[in-house]
Structure 1
């Protein structure tokens, strides 16, 4: 449980230990899955001694010194994090590719892999049989027990296999290794583990694996487990000496050992099958499967290339600050990675149940905005791709004969023979769909790249989802900030109005006391008017819209009127027996104005009309296009009620902040707000009492179309 004194051991770089490419392939693929768990990564890594050794070596570095007390391998992976594990996998694959083995060395590496995995399975099964609780620790010790020999094989790929052939026993192998390298494979492997966990028995278990059974009879159980598992994993078969050691160390009978050996072989075969390795159970040492065959090397190189490109794409996307920039970057990357030039990015609106186009690289981009696709099965290839979370194309047999009109229109917009629909999903979130033009001749190429394309779509979806969350969070923060400011303004307005009201009342008292002297009364009247003007300015501060800077645009006023009247019909008109008489000019175009301000103006006027007709009545709403006033074109809006009208004494001051004549809890400031908002949008408002009864308000708005 202490380090070895032989300083020569320190010169060997465990970071260069060869790994099985099949395991690297699985690990690289897993690292690029969105929902990969550390348990899944651990299961893959613990099938290769080289990868385990690298993980431990990185954990020993100064960067992770604060985590030196973490000795559980699975927890160690969590500490290192997904990005570090991914980096280890990629760099190992690159090293492997540029320092390929010859066929003989590849077979030796394959043999070491089989033996290490066999020892790991044997150690774990023995641990369970003998009641050793941390069975995973026994597995890890078994997997790493030959890591020192892998270092030697990497350092001397020609000499070391000859040495392995020449050594008839473990003791002779130890002697020959010390002569050639200055240390045995056991000592090099043990030192790696001592560096990581000097207080564990793991290092001792690796160090004493070749000792005779009689030498470890009183050693801790883990040392005995690895000692016997190492010997059991050799392919010489069961013999009297091995059975004797099983009884001596653990009191296990021959049938138990035979069953154990069969279970180990079955476990290794199953692991190999899962990795795509074809094992020959009867292969002699040095004649195993080649761990570095041409086919698997090329596949590993392809994976490294693809995922290096994908990492570049993720960096490109993450460098885009705004959502729109991410959308455009994803379309650019689609072209760079897959050679697909024209694309449209639809984002999901879960509340409305639709897909909306948000970015495109089409030549007729202005037409794309008109497409809003229902998220319902069978309505379009695009919707089905999103609902099924599956790559889909217009050439698929399920769609080829039943393309909808919208599918055909999109294909035409993409200027292509067909289209490919790429769902953008990350975890449980359905972010949207990327669609791109596709020719029939490209189908086979795209199918071969489907795995990379799905990883690309996950990267895009993940980045988009993050940007959407950031945007929502920012909008919510801005809304809260605006609301806070509005509340502060309302409070200040309230506080300012109190002294103004006192001053105005005091002026009235002075006016009475000073009598009818015209000069003084005239001055008091001027002061009173100025105070009212100050009050009016303060009230306008209260009514500033927090979103006024972003709400200007083309407004269909007729549609806005219909929407408001429908809202009031449900909430007010029906219960108060108020009917509406709409006389809207259907030829009136949308005009450029502030929608929020206009909506508040109309809402206040309709509210006033409702309150004026407490016993029921008729609300007349009219619009008229092209009203000429002093040579300028205006839109005219009229709202008239059938109530009692405005008292004659109030008509002159109807848009000033005086007490309302409607009664109830109304503040009396609604029409003042209306006047101020009308002024803000460069309009005008007038009012009169109609002969037939009721009040009529007329609004004129500039007819701005562009």
Structure 2
């Protein structure tokens, strides 16, 4: 539904002043209870309207209304809620009439919910919201115009009054309530029920059950209850409806008295004085400025953007503005996480700050508010400004300037009406966007400082690693030299020469790993393809005897020849298998066996992969450890073990699209199955 073209500025009604005091009391507590605030919101149609205007309902949320309102209260924050109460209270017209109608809305809501329960309607919260929303159109007209009470008090039928409203305002209260319901995300059945609130009884009788419940609740809760019509719509007898009305009246009265608000229909002297305390405009501006500055304290970039959007919807009923600044003479967007328009589109416009046709550029140069309404005949004076209005989905734009230190900026606000915003409201917008820009600049400064600190710590860590690596490489060089001497002393032993060569290669591998750790930027890329059988045979040559043979354990290899190469570097596969083989050797009792085999090629995640299986006949893995097997944890082996082996295995495999799974049985052994994608043919 398109927004209505109203001959006045639509102002959302303010909450009941006594309820607003209760909200402020809760906000003053050290840890305000959001659920308690949500309960207050459910008693007040303007409070609920404001929260749902800030963030419309998503499908299904109307059935859990209290939770939905609680989430929005948390999202708004204490400072913004205080600022909203002060701002909306200062704009209020017809405070007494708004208060009385608001109480009627609460009574209709309670009646609708009890009817829903009585009739076993599955979503009583939805019925409650329909009743609460029934008077939202009338409340909004009362808050926005001085003419509505005159029309409302004229002796006429309800139909005649709505016709008079349409003639005067272009919309009646029922149509306005339905439009506000759609803009706030209320479900279709609820919007239909609102739209049928003034329809003929026979039309309502054939409608969705929620429409009948709402219409019956209106008849029951009205000052002159018409129980016969409610009985026809619900199928309940009038005595039952009369008892329901008595119960609802009592519950409503007690609930309102707990807040210090007189019951609907109570004598004027029973109700506490209505109206908000009025501060002089200058004092109010100072107070609001302080509250809005606090709304952005201590929140990061994404939440800051959300808070700015919430503030514009809550305080002004506007979508979040475009936050623009100047870089080398060109207008650029600020990095906001919830920008209404994609930043690259604004950059592509190429708007310059010296553009004498653009009101955006004019606001940046003069630091004075400007506005532009292109109209329906074309872009008007500036096509770039026309683009911005269209991208915001509004009839025109208002440019609100801000400046942080030497950096000028402007907030481009979309406007649907041609009516000028009051100067005080524009000044409030300027304070709001200045606070947001200042907080954003502080956040960027903090991030830069954190990045610089991180770089400093990283450089220090790299230098430490280089020193330690240098110290480790020295004894490795000595060990490798001694291996050469041993080989020269026994030239007649080819087996020894082969084993010494394997050990020497492992020392070289350790040296390469240390080199990559100390100088990651200069590491050469290893081929991402290797032969599984070659890596497994090499592991057996180097580690079979020291890890298994000398400790009376057996390492059995069942890898067939001719297996296709896999898409993982040889050094990575060797590191993976070495961790698994070493873990098995340390866990197996004497006389037990580890077998490495390959069942062959299969398809995983749509890719051909080679399966490797490492199976032992040991004691199995304890149940508590099994749930966190591939997480870094304190090792249970003691000594120099760090508890990182299997975590490293999973991470290494994951880098190359591979998987590892484990199955274990107490006293029957453990199996690790690896699935490694095949290398693509060269």
Please state which band the TM-score falls in when normalised by the shorter chain.
Answer: 0.3 to 0.5
TM-score by length of 2: 0.41
TM-score by length of 1: 0.40
| Greater radius of gyration (CA) | 1
